[in-house]
């Protein structure tokens, strides 16, 4: 019983302390209130009312009224409204005093809707107006990556695409298995100008990636002939069939191109082995030559010709 009385006394002291604090705050605080309207006398709702250099603020209600609780002192009241000039007023608030500061705002523009305008490139990185996003790699991006073939190019620029060169794997040394989302090469559909690209006649064996599957050799398409590459990184079996479970890659070639474009690239491995007596190895020489030319006539006919020559020497790191 005595413990219960002590608890009641403690609760009573806590309530008394809170009431004294609230009373003290009410006696030492002041109020700034007022009304905001336009030059025609119409109340402005949702006008912003803040104190310069202070945190927080308020918005006017439907009748244009506002109210702020502040400590005694001098303040600069800032009133802003969309399409209107900013108003500033100097006020001084005493203890327990209420200062009324009305404002008449000149609305210079009649804004019924706020429109946010942005811009996008003519060929965005991803098409978002489709059912699923489609990544688009244009010719400029293709040239920025010093890759000799399409498979290695897509490995660097296209998410979810993977292709690795195979070694000691029979014919797979020459045809790199490629796929989307970690699925097999025969589950990725490859289109050329929107038409199905034929698969190779090679079956991947010897424990390579996609063993037992037959994929599409992307490296038979010259890089110089490509205008853009579209990659759909989602299953499209309902539209294209079971060979599009992993996704679809559509390679669009140049058309109606006028002029001649010639490029070349050379690279080699320069390796030094400090732990092997400073042995230096220079191998893996790569040479690539590309050209793309186009001729057109006034009747709309055109001819495009593209080609690629590539020679890649071997690299040997055995015994090091």
Per-residue model confidence (pLDDT) at position 118: 59
Per-residue model confidence (pLDDT) at position 127: 56
- Report the C-alpha gap between 243 and 249 in whole angstroms: 12
Query: How high is the mean pLDDT in each 10-residue block of the chain (320 residues)?
Result: 46 51 58 90 89 87 90 90 86 87 80 58 55 76 73 80 72 74 81 84 72 78 84 80 83 81 81 69 81 80 82 73
Per-residue model confidence (pLDDT) at position 119: 53
Alpha carbon distances (Å) from 290 to 41, 222, 267, 296: 74, 8, 15, 21
Compute the half-sphere exposure of residue 109: CA atoms within 13 Å on the CB side of its CA.
9
Per-residue model confidence (pLDDT) at position 272: 72
Cα pseudo-dihedral 204, 208, 210, 215, rounded to 10: -40
Cα pseudo-dihedral 206, 210, 211, 213, rounded to 10: -130
Per-residue model confidence (pLDDT) at position 197: 84
Contact 253, 194 (CB under 8 A): no
Per-residue model confidence (pLDDT) at position 320: 59
- Report the C-alpha gap between 23 and 309 in whole angstroms: 89
Per-residue model confidence (pLDDT) at position 50: 92
Which domains, and CATH codes, for the chain? 30-105 (2.60.40.1120), 126-250 (2.170.130.10), 259-312 (no CATH)
Per-residue model confidence (pLDDT) at position 34: 92
Per-residue model confidence (pLDDT) at position 126: 57
Per-residue model confidence (pLDDT) at position 299: 78
């Amino acid at each position: 019983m005595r413990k219960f009385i002590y608890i009641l006394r403690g609760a009573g002291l806590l309530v008394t302390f809170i009431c004294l604090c609230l009373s003290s705050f009410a006696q030492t605080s002041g109020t700034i209130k007022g009304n905001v309207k336009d030059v025609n006398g119409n109340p402005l709702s949702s006008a912003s009312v803040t104190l310069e250099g202070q945190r927080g603020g308020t918005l006017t209600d439907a009748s244009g009224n506002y109210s702020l609780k502040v400590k005694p002192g001098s303040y600069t009241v800032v009133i802003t409204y969309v399409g209107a000039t900013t108003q500033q007023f100097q006020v001084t608030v005493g203890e327990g005093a209420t200062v009324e500061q009305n404002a008449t705002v000149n609305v210079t523009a009649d804004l019924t809707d706020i429109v946010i305008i942005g811009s996008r490139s003519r060929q965005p990185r991803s098409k978002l107006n489709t059912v699923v996003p489609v990544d688009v790699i244009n010719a400029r991006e293709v040239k920025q990556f010093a890759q000799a073939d399409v498979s290695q190019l897509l490995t660097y620029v296209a998410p979810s695409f993977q292709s690795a060169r195979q070694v000691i794997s029979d014919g797979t040394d020459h045809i790199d298995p490629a796929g989307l989302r970690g699925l097999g090469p025969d589950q990725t559909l490859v289109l050329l100008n929107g038409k199905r690209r034929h698969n190779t006649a090679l079956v991947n064996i010897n424990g390579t990636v996609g063993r037992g599957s037959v994929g599409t050799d992307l490296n038979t398409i010259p890089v110089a002939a490509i205008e853009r590459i579209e990659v759909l990184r989602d299953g499209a079996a309902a539209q294209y069939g079971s060979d599009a479970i992993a996704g679809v890659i559509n390679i669009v070639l140049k058309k109606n191109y006028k002029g001649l474009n010639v490029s070349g690239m050379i690279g080699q491995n320069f390796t030094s082995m400090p732990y092997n007596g400073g042995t230096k190895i220079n191998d893996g020489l790569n040479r690539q030559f590309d050209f793309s030319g186009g001729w057109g006539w006034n009747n709309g006919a055109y001819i495009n010709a593209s080609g690629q020559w590539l020679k890649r020497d071997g690299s040997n790191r055995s015994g090091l």
